[in-house]
Amino acid sequence: DQSICGLAQFVSGGIHSEITLSAMSILCSLSMQVTRHAFDPKLISGGLVPPQIETIGEGVMVGFEVLSTLYSGGEMSFPLSKIQIASAHIIISSITAMLVGLKPVIYLHEDDAARNTSYSIRNDIIEALTTSTVVGKVIAFFSLLAHFFESHQVQIIRKGTFSSDGYSFSLSKA
């Protein structure tokens, strides 16, 4: 599919690339606007709502692939840079925004094709979240990491890993 290939070339540098961060930031912006655009009379009359939703949904699926690169060999690679953390955050934000934005389209849109496309994309995202152990571990890691940093007020000062079995962090207090 051309839309997946189009975004995939911008994220081929992986989660540590500024280009990936930029591409995922654009995707997040589109995900946050999916409801507004789905009900735009100009897009509706042009029949552009279903293709737009499908393209953004495919971008979210590419985001899942980028996230999964952080997990390898039973361990979660500890993000070492602000770009890696920002990329992971923006991808997770895109997933959330897309799920939230699709709900009104599924229930309220006048166009059957827009509703069906939204429903299909939502189901694809939910399936990816519920069936991919790797994606689940990556999201769990970032959820735990955010809570850990908030409650302990620590800064990352050296390389570390998170083991999915032992839940150990290699960190030092600032």
pLDDT in tens, 91-117: 999 999 999 999 999 999 999 999 999
- Tens digits of residue pLDDT in 51-65: 999 999 999 999 998
pLDDT for position 134: 82
CA 10 – CA 4 distance, rounded (Å): 10
Which is higher by pLDDT, 170 or 144? 144
Give the type of residue at 55: T
Q: Identify the CA nearest to 122 among candidates 143, 135, 104, 139.
A: 104
Query: Residues with Cβ < 8 Å from 173, sequence gap 6 or more?
Result: 152, 154
Query: Residues with Cβ < 8 Å from 85, sequence gap 6 or more?
Result: 79
The number of helix segments (H) and strand segments (E) in the chain equals 8, 3
The answer on pLDDT for 145 being more than 80 is no
Q: Kindly provide the b/e burial profile for residues 50-87, where b requires at least 16 CB atoms within 10 angstroms of the residue's own CB.
A: bebbbbbbbbbebbbbbbbebbeeeebbbbeeeebbbb
Its pTM stands at: 0.78
Give the type of residue at 160: G
